[in-house]
Each structure stands twice: as C-alpha cells, then as structure tokens.
Amino acid sequence: MFSKPSRLQTLLLMLPTWAFAHSVLIFRVLPLNSNGNALVTNNILPFVLLLGLAVGFASLASYVAARRAAALGWSLPPVIALLIHVPFLGAGIALWLAATGDEQEKNAATPMSVAGRLVVPFILGTFACWALTWGCQYLIELGKLPLGLKQAGGYFGLAIFAGLPFATGVSCGVILRRAGGTFSQAIAASMTLVGAVILVLCAMAMEGIICVVMAAPIGAAVAFFGVVGGYFLARTKAADGTLHSAAWLSIVVIVALEGWNPPAPLENTTSSEVIIDAPVERVWAELHDIRDLPAAGDNFLFQFGVAHPVSTVTDGQGVGAARLCKLSTGDMPEIITVWKPGQELRFKVLSTPPSMSELGFFGQTIDTTHIHSAYASLEGGFRLTTLPDGRTRLTGESHYLLNIAPAAYWNLWTEEIVHMVQLRVLEHVKTRAEAGSKSPK
C-alpha cells in the first residue's frame, strides 16, 4: 500500500505522525519547563508507553518519507528519512515531499489526487494566517499595532474560517470539472483536503479539540459553496487561472479588511430560568455565596476545557460589594451594581479570564490568541419572582461581548455554552435552596 505513497498519503501519514512524535516528546516526555507546558509523570510505565509511541510514529514517518523520496527519484532516501526529524528543516522537507508530484499524479482527476495537489498550498496558507496572528500579538505587546488589528485581537477569523475553505472549494471544483470529474468527486476532494489539514494542525499542536469541533461545520459549509462556484464556473475562460487566483487572493483581501476595518464585536444577552420549590428568602440566601459547584461531569465541552464556574464569593453586602467568580480558567472579579434582597442581584464584570483551557490532542494545554480576546463577559445577574403557589422563579442573565468573525456563527456556540453555564449555576442553587441548607438572611 505504501510502496509508492501519494501526496495525500504522505500528508496524512508522514507529516502528522512526524508532528505527533515531536509533540509527544516535547509536551509529555521532556522535563517540565518554566511555563509548565511539559507534563512529566513520576510513574515509569506511562513514560515508557509515551516514549514508545513517539518512537513508533517517528519510525512510521521516516518509512513513508523514504518511500515517497524513492518514488520521486530522489537520491539517498534513507538520509531523507532521517533529515525530516531535524527541527525546521524536517518540516520543510516533509512539505516538499508532499508538494512534489509526478506526471501521473498531476493528470489524475480522483478526489484523493486533487486533494493531494492542493493540500500543501492550503497548509501554507493556514501557516501564513497563523504567522500573521502571532506577529500581530507580538506587535500588540510592543504597542505598535494599527488600531484595527488591535481591536480584532490579531486573529483573522474570516480569513481562516471563510477565505481558506472557500478558496480550497473553488480550486477543487475547477480542477475536477475540467478533468472530467463529477460534482460529488469535487465535494469529496474538498472535504478530504479540509480533513487532512485539520489533522495536520492538530498533530502540530496548533489547535485544540474544542476549536476543531466548533470550526469544522463552518469550514465544511464554506468549502461546499466554494466547490459549487468553482465547479459550475469551470466552463468559462476565467477558470483557466483567473478564478483560481481570485479565490486565493481573496484571502489577502480579507486579511487586509479585517486588519484595518475589523468586523464590529457582537454584544448579546442571554438568560435561563428554573422554578425552585422554596420561598424567595431562602433562594436569595443561596445567591450570596455559591460554593461547591459540581464537577464538569458528562459535559463534553467543560471536560475538554471550556471555562465554567467553580464557585462565587461575595465580600459584604449592597451596591459596591466585591464579588469573585472562580472559573476553571481563572478568577473573574466583579462588583455589585444592583442589590435588592429577594428581588434582584446584578453585577459588573471587571475582567474575564481565558474562555477556555484549550486541550490539545496529546494532552497538553495550547495557548492561542483567540482564547484571550474572543470572548468577554460584561454583566450578569439574577432576578427572583415569587409565584402564586409560594415557589420561586430564578432567572439568570449574562451580557457578553464576542470579538471573533464570523460572529453570527460563533454566537451559536457561545449562546449555547452560556446557557449551559447558567443552568449549571441555577440548578445548583435550586438543589441547595430546596434542601434548606441555609437559613434566610
């Protein structure tokens, strides 16, 4: 099967396995660094298993690299197999092996072949967006970033989530149509390519599990529309090259637009409510300090790093009192703005910790720009309403800012997560109030 690995096989096997081996060695086996990124265990068995896993994947990467180099007629394939493990040089060789193809591959019209022809440009485009993000973050720290980019947080949401998949879809549609392929083959090629790039990004520890899960639907949808446009425009003269160029150049245009005139942040308010079988006085008593919130349990998003409350403590009473909400990602200080015992409690959020502790595919925590700048909690509060039967309706509200494009899409996820957080707190208050664990204050 791997006597002559294709371009896509090379990317799906050699580059991800190469990145996997290096990531395991860096994050799981090597000594703990000052930032605490490496995870070292005192138990020798996990250490040996992880090291063996890394060596096994490194060997697989070397084998595929050697076979690919031999298939391309390169001299000294065994040397190539060793050189791919040299930092930086190895990444370049791996990409070059995947980018280079023979005439048979260039003329093939199967989805796998077309995806293989486009996968390296797609990866390079992704790396370019990542490099721009890193560079903007560095300029923010130096205080030399244009206002627009600073407002955007240095994160090119539309370029990454819309521009790259759309250009990929257009190219797949044009190439397959002009080579005699079907529309379904063009879709298969684009989805294969998007999936391959996701694997590579995860293997190189550039994105975490939650971000991949959240971004996959919009990436697939935009790629599909790109295929539709490219496939049905392939009969025109523009498809000879102009259409390709326009699709990929659109990424540069989007980056420029996001940099100098970023999309406006989205503000939204969402609420949830529960009915509590307890008088309003008892429910109010539970809102002063909300402690011992249950563990993340079976919530997939919370288990994999999305920020969620652990406890809240209020220092004093009345307007101006300090309130501290402890999240799984850090402390969120607040100040009371409305204090109406038995009726309403509202607070203003002074600062928001990271929106998630992004867990990578190898167990390490990945620190990216968007987890610090994409979401900010602004205000929150509780409203209490006495029902005719003596029970209490408790409503939780959250007002937040979303600063990542396309905001309308990401707000679908954000709103659902905020509902989860609200219900987690409200259900805990309900349980404690109904159990009568506190006397009314």
Compute the average pLDDT of residues 40-44.
Answer: 53
pTM of the full structure: 0.69
What lies within 8 Å, CB to CB, of 273 at 6+ separation is 393, 394, 395, 396, 426
Q: Which domain holds residue 61?
A: 1-107
CA 419 – CA 306 distance, rounded (Å): 13
What lies within 8 Å, CB to CB, of 293 at 6+ separation is 309, 310, 311, 424, 425, 428
Task: Please indicate, yes or no, whether residues 11 and 147 belong to a single structural domain of this protein.
Answer: no
Domain count, the chain: 3
CA 372 – CA 93 distance, rounded (Å): 34
pLDDT given at position 283: 94
366 lies in a domain? yes
Point out the domain boundary residue: 40, 73, 107: 107
> Within 10 Å of residue 148's Cβ, how many Cβ atoms?
14
441 lies in a domain? no
Task: Please indicate, yes or no, whether residues 114 and 233 belong to a single structural domain of this protein.
Answer: yes
Asked whether the beta carbons of 164 and 215 are under 8 A apart, the reply is: no
230 has which bridge partners? none
User: With the CA atoms of 98, 184, 187 and 218 taken in that order, what torsion angle do they form, in degrees rounded to the nearest 10?
Assistant: -150
DSSP string covering 318-379: STT-EEEEEETTEEEEEEEEEEETTTEEEEEE-----SB-EEPTTS-EE--THHHHSEEEEE
Task: Please indicate, yes or no, whether residues 324 and 431 belong to a single structural domain of this protein.
Answer: yes
Asked whether the beta carbons of 270 and 395 are under 8 A apart, the reply is: no
108 pLDDT band, cuts 50/70/90, is low
User: Is the confidence at residue 332, as pLDDT, over 90?
Assistant: yes
User: Is the confidence at residue 38, as pLDDT, over 90?
Assistant: no
Compute the average pLDDT of residues 258-267.
Answer: 74
CA 366 – CA 347 distance, rounded (Å): 31
440 lies in a domain? no
pLDDT, tens digit, 9 for 90 and up, residues 54-93:
778 788 888 888 888 888 788 888 888 888 877 667 767 7
Task: Please indicate, yes or no, whether residues 280 and 387 belong to a single structural domain of this protein.
Answer: yes
Point out the domain boundary residue: 207, 237, 263: 263
Task: Please indicate, yes or no, whether residues 176 and 309 belong to a single structural domain of this protein.
Answer: no
CA 424 – CA 418 distance, rounded (Å): 10
> Within 10 Å of residue 312's Cβ, how many Cβ atoms?
20
- The residue that leads in pLDDT, 364 or 230, is 230
Compute the average pLDDT of residues 243-264.
Answer: 71
CATH number at residue 295: 3.30.530.20
Share of the chain above pLDDT 90, in %: 25
Residue type, 338: V
132 has which bridge partners? none
pLDDT given at position 437: 47
CA atoms within a 13 Å half-sphere pointing along the CA-CB vector of 134: 8
Nearest to 435 by CA among 281, 282, 274: 282
Nearest to 415 by CA among 307, 309, 269, 305: 269
pLDDT given at position 31: 46
What lies within 8 Å, CB to CB, of 332 at 6+ separation is 324, 325, 326, 349, 350, 351, 352, 353, 377
CA atoms within a 13 Å half-sphere pointing along the CA-CB vector of 380: 25
Task: Please indicate, yes or no, whether residues 319 and 198 belong to a single structural domain of this protein.
Answer: no
What lies within 8 Å, CB to CB, of 197 at 6+ separation is 119, 122, 123, 126
